[in-house]
Amino acid sequence: MRVGDVAVPHRIDAGEVGLWQHELVGPGVAATLDPNPLLLVDVLPDPAAFALASGLRPSGEGARGRDTESVWDQRGRIDRGDALFVVTTVADLSDGAAADGTASVRAEFRNDVYQAGTGRHVGSATGVMLFVSGAS
């Protein structure tokens, strides 16, 4: 995995992701959520996990990642039912060391989200993960 690597773009449905999220935060909270507009965090609640599932993973055997930071920067409106395309890239990689001296890699993934119909950029969701080789 190198900086600039791009995963195969994914198409997602803003309606589907919103539904399961609202259910899982609990019925009391979900009852206060309006269907529209959606925030980008509703569509991509875990930017780093999305990148990993898209195939962008460090090459080290047994490397496990820990989610450390996420940033959603929304630029356009998203409504339930919108079809979106997500283009995921490796934005940054840097070597480091865990507290016990084990080598680690900090990986920053950027997901750019576009309306499928118009191609309009509606925002980016960035996730940072810390990978430690062989960590459990």
Q: Which residues form the interface with other proteins (CB under 8 A)?
A: 10, 12, 16-17, 20-22, 24-26, 29-30, 32-37, 39-42, 45-46, 49-50, 52-55, 57, 64, 66-77, 79, 82, 115, 117-120
- Closer residue to other proteins, CB minimum distance, 42 or 93: 42
Residue 64: C-alpha distances to residues 28, 51, 59, 112 (Å)? 34, 14, 11, 24
Residue 108: C-alpha distances to residues 29, 32, 68, 75 (Å)? 31, 33, 10, 20
Whether 65 and 56 have beta carbons less than 8 Å apart is answered as no
- Closer residue to other proteins, CB minimum distance, 93 or 135: 135
The minimum distance between CB 49 and other proteins, in angstroms, equals: 4
